[in-house]
Amino acid sequence: MDSKAKVAFLGLGVMGYPMAGHLARAGYSVTVYNRTASKARQWVKEYGGTCADTPALAVRDCDIVFACVGEDKDLREVVCGPQGALAGMKPGAVFVDHTTDSADVAREMHALFKSHAMAFVDAPVSGGQAGAQKGCLTIMVGGDEEVFESVRGILDAYAVSVTRVGEAGCGQLAKMVNQICIAGVVQGLSEAVAFGKNAGLDVKQVLGVLEKGAAGSWQMQARGATMVDGLFDFGFAVDWMRKDLGIALAEARRNGSSLPMTAMVDQFYADVQQKGGGRWDTSSLVTRLPRKDKH
C-alpha cells in the first residue's frame, strides 16, 4: 500500500490509540474518530493528522478504514449508525476490523460491505497494550485473499506477524483459540506463583530459571514478577477477557466443542470482578488464591 494512502482509524482505546500513532509515524495521512472527542483531539496533538466528529466524516475519501472498538454492538454502531462509516466510505475502500468480536458479526460485515462494492477483513490482534505501543502485534486475518494482500503491507506499521487464516470470520475464530490458550496459561501461572510463595521460595528467582525451560511462556516472562508483587495495571482488563471468553464459549456451543477449562477460568475471572477487579489486568487471577507473604 502506497504510504500516500489516506486512512481513518475509528476507536482510540488502549490499543487503537498507539496503533493509529504507528500509522501516522509510518507516513500515512490519518484521520481519527473516537466516541470521546477529547481523546481524538489529544491524539492529533500528539501525532498530527486530523480528527472528525463522526465516523462518516472520518472515513471520507479514505482508501482503508481501521476500527478497534469494544464488541459486536459497538462495531455495528460505528459502521451502520446514521453517521456510521458505511455512509461515508467510497466504493473500493477496505474496512479492517481489529476489534475482538464474534465470527458471526465478521461474516455479516463482510457481506454488507461487499454489497456496497467495498471490502472487509476481520483482523483481531494479540500482544496486548504493550504490543500495541511497541508496534509488535500479531494479527490474524479472515477475508478474501486479494483484499488481504492489498492491506498486509500497511499492517506492518504495528505488527511483527500478519497472517491470513481463512475466509471471513476465521480471524475471529483464531483469536478465540488465542484467548482459550491464554486462559489456561494464566491460571496455571497463578497457581504456580501462589504455590511457590506458600512453599517459602523466592518466586521471582524461580520464575527467572523456569522461563528459560519448558514451562516458559510470554505470560511468565511479562507478568510473573508483577504477579508476585501484586501489581495488576498492565493493560488487557478482566472485563474484556470475560467478553472474549464469552464469545469463545458461545462459539463452542455452536460447533460442538468442549471447553471445560475455559469455562472454569471464566468463572474464576467472575470472582475477580466481584472483588472489584474488573479493570485489573488478566494476571490478577492470582488474587483468588490464598498466599502467604514471607517473600
**Which residues are part of the catalytic machinery?**
175
Written as nine digits, the cell of 28 is 500515512
Residue 92: which residues within 8 A CB-CB, separation 6 or more? 117, 118, 119
DSSP designation for 53: S
Q: Are 138 and 155 in contact (CB under 8 A)?
A: no
Report the phi/psi class of residue 230: left, alpha or beta, with left for phi > 0 and alpha for psi in -120 to 50. Answer: left
How many helices (H) and strands (E) are present in the chain, helices listed first? Answer: 12, 9
**What are the start-end ranges of the H helices in 65-144?**
72-80, 103-115, 128-134
What sign does the CA torsion over 272, 278, 280, 281 have?
A: positive
Q: Are 133 and 147 in contact (CB under 8 A)?
A: no
φ, ψ of residue 194 to 5 degrees: the values are -65, -40
